[in-house]
Structure 1
Amino acid sequence: MSLETDGPGDSPHLVIYNRIWQSIAERKLRPGTRLKEEQLAEIFAVSRARVRQALSALERDGLVTLVPNRGAFVAEPSIEEARDIFFARRTIESQLVNRLCATRTPGAIARLEDHVALERDARKRGDKTDCVRLSGGFHLLIGELAGSPYLGDVLRDLVSRTSLILVMYQRRSQTDCGPDEHADIVAAIAAQDAATAMALMDHHMDHLEGTLDLDDELARQTDLKDLLQ
């Protein structure tokens, strides 16, 4: 679903959608969080019908699960979904940087370099919220600058789903990839070295996926006795 940042002229359900999407992408809303219609209606000063419209759109995009007689919950991606999402991101983002290498402009490179500088500043300040927001924003900027609205929309959804996956499966000892890997990708794009840029993006996504614990056997241990022994 293609939705721009909400503004004065946006429909109420689009405003709700975007705020929830952003909160998921920034890992403020955790997997399994209940999204109460009445509470959302009060927060956004809209009818529950508008809220339901937004929640239905979020469900179509895989970010919310609607459970009959229970309500709406932030989605909890399975291990299989996690692997599929990283496969999709690896495939799409590799092609986006390939395209950007061929079409890049000085202005595009300046925007990417400025973004990496903001990431480094956030990391230096220890601002985890900004680090998460800017890290995902880098990939969305790649999609925007590559000039593919369709792939940009697909990537937007994948980035948000990735945030849910990281909350659920990232090892506690691991942290997100720092801005240095992003800077290397930008340098390759600036040099119009498509092969290197694509390889660096693949490595970057491998690195991020490698911070996850996607052990099927561990996931199947749902008995409390087994988990506590």
Structure 2
Amino acid sequence: MSLSTKADGAYLALRRAIVEHALKPGTKLPEDKLAEQFGISRTLVRAALARLAADGLIDIGNKRTAAVARPSLEEARAVFEVRRCLEAEVVRLVIAKWKPSMGTALEAHVREERAAAAERQATASIRLAGEFHIKLAEMAANPILQRYLDEVATRCSLILAVHGRPHSSECAISEHRDLIKALRGGDSNKAVALMQAHLNGIEERALLPALANDEEELAVILAPYAGAAGSGS
């Protein structure tokens, strides 16, 4: 595995751990422990952390100490304002470019969400709920829009970890299915309205008083993610 691939693997593993709420807001990310966990140099760890900081997922202090970010309520509201604008345009573009294969792919994704919910896989449910929106952005076939939506959706997951109540997989699945139906029907106004209502519901769940976070050993949390990164999965 090349050095760049190892750095990418560490970045993706840490990103996923944050998205799935395994790494909670405020968790310290010491370079030496991460280097040992992923089997890479501290230089490569710094590169991965810099990318996460650019994504708004971690904060790096004056002494280069990194920690999972804790977005404020003001920042959270701003993120959701941007997300509503982006996702409305995603819906319009997807309808304009609609193909039956898109519906098939989205329905397959919702089945994954349903399976994760049935097996009570909370972390997978959180990740899959966000990936549904990223998949829609891919279908819009606008790389710039996709990049911004990816970043905003990921930051919303972090916001939920700071301020929200537990993820409601049933709400997400039902609302995603309704949205697919509107997309398939080519009803742009209805699809945009459903998306806005869906995002408003997510925001309502997100912008609640901060929850207490239990501290857990960093190595224990990251072990499965580091293993996946090392195997290239």
Whether TM exceeds 0.5 here: the answer is yes
Cα offset, 1:136, TM superposition: 0.8
Whose helix fraction is larger, Structure 1's or Structure 2's?
2
Looking at structure 1, the residues matched to 181 and 87 of structure 2 have their Cα atoms a distance apart, in angstroms, of: 16
Structure 1, residues 200-221: CA drift from partner, whole Å, max 9, x if none? 0000000111113457xx99xx
In the alignment, what sits opposite 2:22?
A: 28
Does the aligned pair in 2 maintain the 1:96–1:142 contact within 8 Å?
yes
AA of the residue aligned to 1:35: L
In the alignment, what sits opposite 2:91?
A: 97
Does the aligned pair in 1 maintain the 2:53–2:60 contact within 8 Å?
yes
Cα offset, 1:179, TM superposition: 0.2
AA of the residue aligned to 2:197: H
Aligned residues: 210
Cα offset, 1:36, TM superposition: 1.0
In the alignment, what sits opposite 2:151?
A: 157
The equivalences for 1:5-154 within 5 A come to: 10-69=4-63, 71-154=65-148
Moved over 6 A (4+): none
Counterpart selection for 2:181 from 171, 187, 197: 187
Looking at structure 2, the residues matched to 20 and 151 of structure 1 have their Cα atoms a distance apart, in angstroms, of: 23
Alignment RMSD: 2.1
Looking at structure 2, the residues matched to 64 and 144 of structure 1 have their Cα atoms a distance apart, in angstroms, of: 25
Cα offset, 1:13, TM superposition: 2.3
Q: Which has the higher contact order (CA 8 A, sep 6+)?
A: 2
Residue ranges of structure 2 left out of the alignment (5+ in a row): 212-233
Does the aligned pair in 2 maintain the 1:90–1:202 contact within 8 Å?
yes
Looking at structure 2, the residues matched to 184 and 10 of structure 1 have their Cα atoms a distance apart, in angstroms, of: 41
Looking at structure 2, the residues matched to 8 and 49 of structure 1 have their Cα atoms a distance apart, in angstroms, of: 14
Structure 1, residues 87-115: CA drift from partner, whole Å, max 9, x if none? 11111011101110110111111000111
Cα offset, 1:171, TM superposition: 3.3
In the alignment, what sits opposite 1:170?
A: 164
Does the aligned pair in 2 maintain the 1:25–1:159 contact within 8 Å?
no
- What's the TM-score once normalised by structure 2's chain length? 0.84
Alignment identity in percent? Answer: 37
Query: Structure 1 residues 67 and 9, CA, compared in 2 at 3 Å: closer, same or farther?
Result: closer
Structure 1, residues 111-170: CA drift from partner, whole Å, max 9, x if none? 001111221222222221221121011011101111111111111111221111111111
AA of the residue aligned to 1:32: G
Residue ranges of structure 1 left out of the alignment (5+ in a row): 1-6, 220-229
